[in-house]
Amino acid sequence: MKTGIVGATGYGGAELLRILQAHPEFSITSLYTSSQKGKNIEEHYPHLTGLFPQKLEEINPVKMAEETDLIFLATPSGISSKLAPELVENGCSVIDLSGDFRIKNQAKYEQWYKKEAADPFWIEEAVYSLPELNREKAKGAKFISNPGCYPTATILGLAPLVKENLLAENSIIIDAKSGVSGAGQSASLATIYSELNENLKVYKVNQHQHIPEIEQMLESLGYKSPITFQTHLIPMTRGIMATIYGRIDTKITKEEIWDLYQQFYSDEPFVRLRKLGSFPTTKEVTGSNFCDIGLDFDERTSRVTIVSVIDNLMKGAASQAVQNANIMFGLEETLGLQFSPVYP
């Protein structure tokens, strides 16, 4: 199938190139840009020298739909809201990696993203697909909204407990940390070396735009209360660790909780559980589509601690988009994604 990428010069776009180059069913035919028309991708990314002969093309929805079967939109929020509907209307399948169609409530999107929301018709048309929880909706879809990075790690960490209604109301607290690649390539004071190196920063306290996405998904699973969610920037390139806390008032043991997770994710190829007493690190999922989860339960405080790690550019963006593309077209879900993490 012919695929195109809008935003190939971004970090998420570069990872899509790496994955799709070796995919047996998707062929990269076109790369699109809003600012670098006519250039080769290797001028932006020398590590891709000789791998992609296509020159970067301008964005023209009608022409793009004629040239491709599937477009990945690896763009900042605010762009896909106008571009995605035009592509779908012209017969092209779309997977959007931005946040423009994740929030079903227009007012909430505008409140948290500080941008104009997409047309309500297209917000409903877009299938929000975190594959492990709602892959059935993605099968045969024409338009998929890919989950955010923090929500992916957080929701997968919480889903088994939420589905069983085991977490007390107003008890979820998420302490999340991300590598600097999550901020993209745009230069800012917060991400320059002298500010980031040997430093740890909390940011967007109680204001992160992924809060409503997490709450929306948790509500669909049965948890109605708001969450406390704080994010931190750490001096590494990629990776997310979400350390999640919640209160369980039901009498239960840590072994029973671990068994619950084991059953819940037993058939999921990209969720790996650690044995009790063992917790994952970000490096152990680098460059992969895995989400690794470890947990413990403190009977003294009735609090469960869940540690969930992903590569923010992979399971948090590009490889999850390819996982969704496989589902969309009825392919084996793991196709093109069966590679181990990069280590060390």
Question: Where on the phi/psi map is residue 60: left (φ > 0), alpha (ψ -120 to 50), or beta?
Answer: beta
Closest Cα to residue 74, out of 185, 155, 210? 185
Contacts for 331 with CB less than 8 Å, ≥ 6 apart: 25, 325
Burial letters 274-304, b for 16+ CB under 10 A, else e: beeeebbebbbbbbbbbbbbbbbbeeeebbb
Q: For residues 314 and 153, give the distance between their C-alpha atoms in angstroms, rounded to a whole number.
A: 12
Cα distance between the two ends of the chain? 34
User: Which of 16, 17, 64, 149 is the catalytic position?
Assistant: 149
Q: Report how far Cα 107 is from the mean position of its chain's Cα atoms.
A: 22
Closest Cα to residue 95, out of 6, 8, 34? 6
Q: Can 291 be counted among the known catalytic residues?
A: no
Report the catalytic residues.
149
